[in-house]
Structure 1
Amino acid sequence: AADATETVGTVRPGRTDTVTTTVEVPAGYNYYVDAALFDDDVLVDETQGVANLNPRETITANETVRDVAFSVEDFERDDAGGEGGDGSDRAPTDGASDGSTPGFGPLVALVALVVAALTARRRR
């Protein structure tokens, strides 16, 4: 959704420093917040948190839980559509056919056989 980078000054050994940054994101959604600490382009440490901005659904770091409502009617076959409800898998009624098949096809198989024969002949 958004990202921000902040530069941290020198932090003495045994000390901590707090850095704050702000990003603008659409409200009503939940976000994972990733923080990474680099020292001269070398990743030192990283952590993850969440920003729950959706009051109806919350997430936690490293876990997503969702209730998905669906009904059996979403998966039923109907008479008009044949196998699927949208009719996209129905054969065309105008006599035309797709004509394409999955895989390589006969031309590629023939070329492969010729190449294999030439390779075998060359090795003799």
Structure 2
Amino acid sequence: MKMITKIATTLPVLALLSACATTAPTTPDATDTPVPEKVTAAYDRMAPAPYTCTDDSKIMAKQSINKEQVMLNVTLPKVKWAEQPIILNGKVKGEVASYVNDSNPEVVYAWHMKGDKGIFAMKWADGKEYQVNCQI
């Protein structure tokens, strides 16, 4: 009987210790990822949508589940970008999704989507602008 009592009292302690020994998952820090803003929204496991754009540009776009953030992987030959990751924040209003990243004081990025079309625009602090029109 003493043996069963010892096992019964030791078992919860072992379970607690083994639970404390596991490593908790961590989220990437801003230093781990090259994107200008942190990922603050949840994303599903679906593949990003591939857009073909003017000026031989390509954009892979993936909206967050709540549609308040978008992750882009942008290739813009005229700007000398090759698979540049960028995160933009915004909202969907009606049929149009609009996202902006203005965390860099030198340039503002914008991505607008409606149906199978998209527009990616950049506006620098000196007033220069660049835009590509895209389609899935």
- The TM-score bracket by the shorter chain reads under 0.3
> Which protein is bigger by CA-based radius of gyration?
1
Q: Please report the TM-score for the alignment, with normalisation by the length of structure 1.
A: 0.24
Q: Please report the TM-score for the alignment, with normalisation by the length of structure 2.
A: 0.22
